[in-house]
Amino acid sequence: MKDIKDYLHLYLGCQVQFEFTTIVKRIELREGKMISINQNGMAYELDVITDNGASHSVLLRSVKPILRPLSSMTDGEATLLGKYDLDELESFIYDMEGCNQYSPKDLLFLLSKHFDFFGLIEDGLAIDATKVNQPVQ
């Protein structure tokens, strides 16, 4: 069984959705950019900055990264990756999802664009960026 703590460090800088407890003890879902992960004893905490510049320290269990499925890759991204035609891109996506061959350069590119090639969306550990109303950078 996958544990999100084993993957989050690969996505530093990505948008996340987290649970925030207000002053009146109401839980709200908020979004922000994950900037660090810290281990505090047995617990993991993430530092998140929201769009208004507020910084929050949140527990790992209340965070889901907002990631892009490989199928959302644009033509421009595919070209940068060196996959110039649709058949080659589809083959590459299949290989990535099956964890077959990929170069370190490909891996770094995909991580920098916040692509989910570990199946975190499918396993409910991440949110599909194509299904939320916010840009992913």
* pLDDT tens per residue, range 63-93: 999 999 988 888 888 887 776 555 666 666 6
Query: What domain range is 11 assigned to?
Result: 4-67
Q: How much is the pLDDT for 89?
A: 61
Q: Tell me, yes or no, whether 45 and 91 share the same domain.
A: no
Decide if 127 is inside a domain.
Answer: no
Q: Judge whether 33 and 58 are in contact, CB under 8 Å.
A: no
CA atoms of 116 and 93, how far apart (whole Å): 11
Clarify whether residues 21 and 42 are in a common domain: yes
In a domain, 129, yes or no: no
User: Count of domains in the chain?
Assistant: 2
Same domain assignment for residues 13 and 62: yes
Residue 131 domain flag: no
3-state helix, strand, coil in the chain (%, to 5): 30, 30, 35
Tokens, residue 49: 């900055």
Average pLDDT of adjacent 10-residue blocks, the chain of 137 residues: 90 93 85 92 89 90 92 84 62 57 77 90 95 64
What pLDDT is attached to residue 42?
Answer: 82
User: Does residue 128 form part of some domain?
Assistant: no
Under 8 Å between Cβ of 48 and 32: yes
pLDDT score of 90: 61
29 occurs within a structural domain: yes
Residue 79 confidence (pLDDT) = 80
d(CA 72, CA 67): 10
pTM for the predicted model, two decimal places: 0.80
pLDDT for the residue 61: 86
Amino acid at 54: A
Do 62 and 85 sit in the same domain of this protein?
no
Residue 59: CATH number of its domain: 2.30.30.30
Residues 43 and 77 in one domain: no
Same domain, 56 and 81: no
